[in-house]
Amino acid sequence: MKKIIVNADDFGRHELINRAVERAFTAGCLKSTTLMAGGTAFEDAVSRAKKFSGLGVGIHFTLANGNPVLPPKEIPSLVTEEGIFHGDYVKFLKRYLSGKISLAEVRSELAAQLEKILNAGLTLTHFDSHQHLHHVPGVIEITLDLAAAVEIKSMRVANTKLFDGELDSLGKLFGRLGLGSLAKFAAHMAHKKNFATPEHFAGIVAGESVSEKFLLKLIENFQDGTTEVMLHPGTDNKILRGFCQWEHDFEEEFAAVTSPKILGALAEKNISAINFSELR
C-alpha cells in the first residue's frame, strides 16, 4: 500500500497561508496541516479547520522564529528583549548548547501552546515543530510526554535525504547531515513510546520549494508505505516573504499540490492521500 501525507506547516501564521491550506485541501492533495498556537492568524485558522472534517490538524510546536503563548517574563531563556522567540533554529541551538535554554521553560511554553489549541476545540492528529526543533535531545522527550498525555500518538520524523533539492553550500550539507542524525534519534525515542511515524519524508528542508517537478519525480519513484511531504504553501509571495522574512516560493508549493498533473499522477500510481490520523 502506498500513501502520501502532504502536510502544510505554519497554519495560523498568516491568513494568506490559511487560505492556501483551505484551497489546497478542497482542490488538491493536501490532507494535513500543523497549527502554530502563537500565530497572528490563529483564530482564522481554527475557523477554517472546523469547516472540514477530513483535514487532519496537528500542532506545530514553536521555539524559534515566532511568538510565544506564555508571557515573556515566564520564559526569559526562550525570548529576546522584545518578548519574541529568537530568530531561527541556529540561534536556539547555540543558546541551548551553551546552557542558556531552560528545559523547564520549554516544557511550560509547549504545554501552553498545546492547551491553547485544544481549548479552541480541535482534535489533534499529530505533532511536528517549526524548524524541526522537536528532534533535539531534551526537547523530543518533552514533546513526546506532552503529546502522549493528550493521546496524540503520531509524529513527524524529518529523515531528510541528503540530495533532496540543491546542495550548493556547506551550510545545507551540514544542516541535512545534522537533521538526519537527530531524526534517527527522535524516531527511536518515538517508537519506544509507541508513536506512529511515516516511513519516509520527502520535504525539502533547506529553503527550496516543493515544485510540481519535485512531486512528479517523487511519485514516479514512490516507495511502499507512507511518505510525508512537508511544505509551506501560500497565495502571495510578496506579502508572505516580507511578513515571514523568508525568501520562500509559497506560491509554487501551492500550485504544486493543486496541480492536475499531480492529482492525475497520484491516481495513476494508486497512491492514496491521507492525514496522520490514518497512520494508526
Distance, in Å, from the CA atom of 102 to the CA atom of 66, rounded to the nearest integer, reads 18
- Could you tell me the pLDDT band of residue 1, with boundaries at 50, 70 and 90? confident
Q: Are 148 and 127 a contacting pair, CB within 8 Å?
A: no
Stretch 55-60: mean pLDDT: 98
Alpha-helical runs (H) found in the chain? 15-27, 42-49, 89-97, 103-119, 139-149, 170-192, 212-220, 237-244, 250-257, 260-268
52 CB-near residues (< 8 Å, 6+ apart): 22, 25, 26
The fold for domain 2-279 equals TIM Barrel (3.20.20)
pTM over 0.85? The answer is yes
Percent of the chain with pLDDT over 70: 92
The pLDDT tens digits of the residues spanning 153-197 come to 999 999 876 455 554 444 444 455 668 789 999 999 999 999 999
Task: Report how far apart, in Å, the C-alpha atoms of 67 and of each of 40, 70, 145, 214, 231 are.
Answer: 8, 9, 22, 32, 21
The pLDDT tens digits of the residues spanning 86-95 come to 999 999 999 9
Torsional class of 143: left (φ above 0), alpha (ψ -120 to 50), beta (otherwise): alpha
C-alpha cell at 175: 544542516
> Can you tell me whether residue 206 is helix, strand or coil?
coil
